Structure 1
Amino acid sequence: MQLTRLDLATHDECWYPALATLTNLSYLFIELVPDTYDLPLLAEHLPVNLRVCVLFINQRWSEGDVVNVKPYASGEVDKRIVVGSFYDAGLSTQYVHRTIAEFPAYPHSPPNKTLFIGCSLKVTLILTLRNFTNHNTSLPGILFLLLALGLVQAQRPGCTAPTPSPGNGTCGAATATPTIAQPLGLEISKWIWTGENAVPAGPNPPGPRAFRKTFTSQCGKCAVSAKILITADNSYKLFVNGNPIGTGANFTDAEVYYVALQPSSNLFAVEVTNTEEGPAALIASILVQYSDGSTETVITDETWRRFLGSPKGFELPTTTDLSKWGFATFQGLYGVAPWGKTVVPPALSVKDAVVIWTGKFDNKTGVAPTVARAFRKTVVTPGCTKRAVSATAVIFVDNQFIFYINGAVVGSFASWREARVYHIPVLDPDVNVFALNGKNTGGPAAFQGVIQILYDDGTSDTIVTDTTWKAQEKVTAGFESPKLDDSKWVNATSMGRAITYRVPSA
């Protein structure tokens, strides 16, 4: 049993130093009924990847309490710590807002002196510790016992998915930094099929066929996301870990998809349909991004499993009986007839993105003053349970830009002929601020971009430049900071024109 959270209910504060031992835990829920409390001490001992919800119950706040606690309740001091109270209306609102979003499986009002260990909404193990508040009780000893028994194994630090088995190594905090996106091609991939026709690229009967590939991360590495380039003759449905990702029906044109991954094991599954008797085949290339910034490429080859049909649930990781599955057969290398070379799409499509700017500019020509402008877009993770994982961004500015994520530089570029594509490997799970310093050095000005954000539940959102972006006619110090209040900034202006430039391929 792998557990992702640890819940404590206690009157005691002697356990604070024990927090430093919880390096394999992702969530900690604490209920306190104290006469005294020390949130700075809590923060001091808190491992960097551990997120804590502190709920004060049966306590009314004094003026001093409010002064000391509210900065933590708002997340201003330490975003790892969420604070709430059932008595104070202001803090209670904050508790409800952040706790529902960040700690959806929180057991409401657990009894005091109880240690709760829950791995999900489905499984909760409750241990009652009668002497838990006794100073002689060793919380580190209790935690060590639980860890030793494998009851507390949580997410691997730095990952946004359940912890893999201990045999696959462990992950530390994500160390990858934003980079120019690594291109992906099909040149080393193979066209594969089922072997129903022994002649490669020969005619095959019509109907759906299922393909699967289970990818296991390298020992000690944590997979974060994947970029998938795929096409098939004649049509396909792509799944990752059981989630539908995309479809296509033109073998001359590949499609690119981005998806968040589990840290250690991931299932790529494809249903390919041959619509009429004739050649049939699948080809794909998958770039796996690890939390340390390294990558690994998976291709279609003879190690993929195949099934003569499309059995129900074949795309699910829980489907493990492959006794009736064979191995795929080689149909030809990339570029071979009858498929030839496949058209690779741009990294992301900008067709839905609006060309924006701010301040004065000529409505017909786009000519604008030769000054820098500031732009910001705050994106809040939707829903109550998902967490933002990573992003891919296509950014174009006429003439030059510096692009930021949460105050950190992603990259810079100067060209009115070409966009830049960036891979952003680490996002804040809840709120992300994208900011841009764009400068026009002469002639027309323009900013156009698209950002695809991946979530840990397999879904994604696409953010495009439009008039909801905030803009300012001057670039002020700290404009890129996520703490900046941009409520008084104006909305960006649509330039109402199309522009032409090169977007690098996937």
Structure 2
Amino acid sequence: MARFFLKLIRSLLFAGFSLSSATPDTIAAPDVTSALSFSSSKWIWNSAAATPNAIVGLRKDFTPPLGKSLIAAEIIITAVNSLDLYVNGNFIGSGTPPHRGRFAHRFCVDLLPSFNVFAVNASTTGSGTGTQAGLLATILVTYQDNTTDTLITDSSWRVKGTLPLGWETLAFDDNAWPVATVVGSYDVAPWNTVLVNIPADPPVLSFVEANWVWTDVVPASGTLPAGSRAFRRTFTPAPGQVPAAATIIISADNAYTLYVNGVTIGSGTNFKVAQRYTINFATAPSEVVLAVLATNTAASAAGLLVAMEVNMVPSGRTSCTAGAFLLTDALWKSTKGAIPDGFEQPGFDDSAWPVVVAEATYPAAPWDTLTIVTVAPVTI
């Protein structure tokens, strides 16, 4: 009980401190991120055997050493299959699709000077069967004197399967929660098959786990009708994370034109050769809208393949870079009808468009492995 009142007092003392939310009118290129890795972190869960379609809450309380004052945290985090991250009760962001353990997110957040709580709502709902579940995170905390400490997911975290109201807040007392179960090390089977990608600066991007998609279910013949299709996907950054640059690799069978936030970025006409684009944002967008006009020039195989890594500069912070991935998957939308005017613009309403059909995961036949060529950076 004493621990609960101590946490309550701390939360009241520092209630005036919050995550930075101001969005600048202009943004600078992100700084190189710190060399965070998962090498020492453990996959943790509430038990060694995962339950399908289960939701688990995990918490890590942290108080700095005597004489130290916290200012910020850089977090890399992933889960099998999905997650929502909170810091001191504030929603930071989700492990949005791709809901695959190999794709981590990177967040940068301001901290309270003293007591802080990192809380995660993780779920086995989504892709996969729930037979393998876990949370993996590394947290680099920075003090006012510019020294740092690293927190990892391990058995010091608290975990519970049924979440009471306010479980993610500073004042909540998790003293009765069981400690987490370590279900595996980052580089030990079966987790060594989850080769985690982490958003980086400069980006390291590939088509791994991206799907070839189209608007039609592929018939047994593998032949799709000739014609053009419009595709869209909107990326909305986590609160306080401001997109600074995006790296996109893209190919289409047979041809495509790529638009980002309504601006024409480039085209391709050979599906065996993908293009790598770097888009720098001159002003801070509230979202990144990808739109593609793809054309199947004759009755044959058809498909669109895209991967994007977004680097973001957190509002008010210049010493770390947030980041996330986006792939062609079931969150993309398309239409088989006439191509509507303005479909490439951010404000276009695609809510009535059906989702795409996933045909195969790269590097599946008939496309196999692609060559990627780099195009000169574009500022929009």
Q: TM-score interval w.r.t. the shorter chain?
A: 0.3 to 0.5
Bigger fraction of residues in helix: 1
Q: Which has the larger radius of gyration?
A: 1
Q: TM-score, normalised by structure 1?
A: 0.35
Q: TM-score, normalised by structure 2?
A: 0.45
